[in-house]
Structure 1
Amino acid sequence: MSTAEEKIEPVVVRGSTEDPQQDGLVAAYEYDLQTWRKVLGEYLLFEWGVFDHPESPRPVSLDEAGTRFFDRQLELAESTASHVVAPRRILDLGCGWGFLLQRLARWFPECPRLDGANISRSQLDHCGTYLGERGLKDRTNLYLCNARDVRLLPDPDDPYDLVVIRGVTTHFSYELYEASVSALADRVAPGGLLVISDTLYENADASAAAITDDTSDPFELRYQKSPEYFTRVLNDNGFTVRDQRILPSNTDVAHWLLELRSNIETHFPEGVTGTLEELRSAAVHLSIMMLRGQAAAHSIVAERND
């Protein structure tokens, strides 16, 4: 079978409300894959990692640390849910380059349908090839879809039992975060789970500390959310938080960020501009905030009320 036949083609799902952030955020990810792999690792995981582990005395790669973190979140979802977790439909909202969808397919081999939604067509194109080559075409659907338009995803009578949202709402305005959670509430089954990872800030309303030196803020990092605000929006939309903890540790997150900075400076010794420079700068500023306790990575498992 040829690659063209294996590839999963994304379907466009678009509502009537335009998102003013979308074009700028999409443009921030438009480097070629090899550039991103030099920065993030082979798996292209863009959401922290767990390094401090008794079975890992050797140096731990970004790929291993990132996979370990995601697996830990799935373990927490299974151990804290009010029921046995056996999803029949899964959504990865902000599915990136596709590695986590592949991981979910392996973790839940009996799940017949996995959906990935993203605003970046180039990322979805890679997802389609990556997942198709791994035999997942019959189980996977990809959608070019903004988070506010989740209600419009196909087959509303087939609700989601598990939704993964990792490193996504970091980029959302407060209005978009609230709209997306409201939309998810309409599409998640009673007892369905949200598995979330996001950066939350102490005294967020009072501390709009600069995370980067780039006033254009291409990754939309200025919308700092407090843990209290973040969970209140979930509760107001019919979700009960089953588990919330700082994971990875602030030390591990700073380690991950400084690995990114080192990768950029090592692979691009002549210097970088634009998005990569913004990312390099953000890694420095945010790692300092983590080590000072001004911010933390929060792992949240929330369950849809009956």
Structure 2
Amino acid sequence: MNGIDEPTYEVLPSHHSDPFRDHVVRAYEDSAGDWQKVLGEQLHFQWGVFGHPDAPRPVSLDEAGLRHLERQLTLATGMGPGHTTPRRILDVGCGWGATLRHLAQVFPDCPRLDGVNISAEQLAHCADLVRDVLRPGRVHLYLCDAADIAELPDPEQPYDLVVARGVITHLPPQVYETATEAMARRMRPGSLLVVSETLYSEEFLAREPRPPADADHLALGHRKSLRYITDVMRDSGFRVRDERVLPCPEDAARWVLELKSNIDVHFPEEASPPLEAIRRMATDLAVALLRQEASVHSIVAEKGPA
């Protein structure tokens, strides 16, 4: 990042061949303004916690998304030794920057926060978003494939906290395995990996065919199970400290149906291919969530000894 006044991002060369990468990039080529009409101003794109349906006031998508993030951070920080401030944080697949910005606010004394993403469109928005955090020069952004995390600068400074929310769903299995191994190499023993991911039952995966690449406009074709996700973590030297369904199925179904409603309101005739994909899949996904064939999992894993 080049100074406090003009945040930008650094491009890291890729050492891996991943044809699916272009699908992920295309999924986020629309302007942030269009996505804000669907997700809310803050652009939290990883589900939401709404709370009791009889609450005295409605909960917005922005507030629900922040509640979900805060719930995960509470679970993670409660496991740390004395709630020690992380010295270095990594946000993998940092999106438009909502999670990274919040981490910079929650940990004002953390001297280094890194965000990586493969979408230049999202990183440009993220760079603008972090301008107002305390000492924005602490935040470094990288256009970087998840498989190339090991190539991030300053390998002698290990990460104390790594967050990966909604990114694993975009990764082919080999890329996920490579990225998890790379994260483990760049983390100190005892550090925490916080994951939020949409996962599927083994029965669902056996029954439902993978969508063809030319129809996979959200780059979600590489569906995964909880067992696979956590097995890869353990093989890479992590110990799962906490795993739970979060948000609950009812909140997750409400979240995806609210996205569909916003698309119907703001793009009644036709939306871009990624938004149309959300509109088409929302109802079936909500049903799968309520049937617990799909679920959103929060996972907190600890890096084991070297």
Query: So what's the TM-score if we normalise by structure 2?
Result: 0.93
User: How much has 1:215 moved relative to structure 2?
Assistant: 5.5
User: How much has 1:213 moved relative to structure 2?
Assistant: 9.8
Decide whether the 8 Å contact of 1:87 with 1:161 is kept in 2: yes
Query: Over residues 180-207 of structure 1, what are the superposed CA-to-partner deviations in whole Å (9 max), with x where a residue is unaligned?
Result: 1011111011111101000111115743
* Unaligned residue ranges in structure 1 (runs of 5+): none
- 3-state SS of paired residue (1:190): strand
Query: In structure 2, what is the Cα distance between the partners aligned to 1:211 and 1:289?
Result: 16
Query: Over residues 36-80 of structure 1, what are the superposed CA-to-partner deviations in whole Å (9 max), with x where a residue is unaligned?
Result: 110000001100000124894311100000000000000000123
Query: In structure 2, what is the Cα distance between the partners aligned to 1:6 and 1:204?
Result: 51
Decide whether the 8 Å contact of 1:10 with 1:128 is kept in 2: yes
Q: How many residues align?
A: 303
- 3-state SS of paired residue (1:207): helix
Structure-2 residue corresponding to 1:93: 92
* Unaligned residue ranges in structure 2 (runs of 5+): none
Q: Is 100-109 or 218-227 further displaced after alignment?
A: 218-227
Structure-2 residue corresponding to 1:246: 245
Structure-2 residue corresponding to 1:40: 39
Map 1:191-210; keep pairs closer than 5 Å: 191-203=190-202, 206-209=205-208
Structure-2 residue corresponding to 1:52: 51
User: How much has 1:219 moved relative to structure 2?
Assistant: 2.0
Decide whether the 8 Å contact of 1:81 with 1:242 is kept in 2: no
Structure-2 residue corresponding to 1:268: 267
Q: Is 112-121 or 73-82 further displaced after alignment?
A: 73-82
Structure-2 residue corresponding to 1:181: 180
Distance of aligned partners of 1:121 and 1:215 in 2 relative to their CA distance in 1, 3 Å threshold: closer
Query: Over residues 154-203 of structure 1, what are the superposed CA-to-partner deviations in whole Å (9 max), with x where a residue is unaligned?
Result: 00000100001000001111111111101111101111110100011111
2:24 pairs with 1:25 = yes
Paired-residue identity, %: 48
Query: So what's the TM-score if we normalise by structure 1?
Result: 0.93
Map 1:109-258; keep pairs closer than 5 Å: 109-203=108-202, 206-209=205-208, 216-258=215-257
Amino acid in the other structure paired with 1:199? T
Query: In structure 2, what is the Cα distance between the partners aligned to 1:283 and 1:202?
Result: 18
Query: In structure 1, what is the Cα distance between the partners aligned to 2:76 and 2:54?
Result: 23
User: How much has 1:34 moved relative to structure 2?
Assistant: 1.4
